[in-house]
Amino acid sequence: MYKFLATYLPKSLANIVIGLWYFVLIMINFYCGIAFAQGTFQYVGW
C-alpha cells in the first residue's frame, strides 16, 4: 500500500497518509476488541 501511495503522492504526504491509515485501523481494532471484551458481541471462531 505504501508503494502504491508513494507512486502517486510526495513521499512525506504518503508517510502521513499511511500513518493515519494504520492509526485508524488500530483504533477500530481497539473498539472491536473492547466490544468483544465487554461481551457486547458474541464471538464465533477460534
Where does this chain bind another protein (CB under 8 A)?
1, 22, 25-26, 28-29, 32-33, 35-36, 41-46
Measured in whole angstroms, the distance separating CA 38 from the mean position of its chain's CA atoms is 21
**Where on the phi/psi map is residue 41: left (φ > 0), alpha (ψ -120 to 50), or beta?**
beta
Query: Closest separation between CB of residue 25 and another protein, Å?
Result: 6
Question: What is the grid cell recorded at 1?
Answer: 500500500
Q: Which is nearer to another protein, 10 or 22 (CB)?
A: 22
Q: Which is nearer to another protein, 8 or 41 (CB)?
A: 41
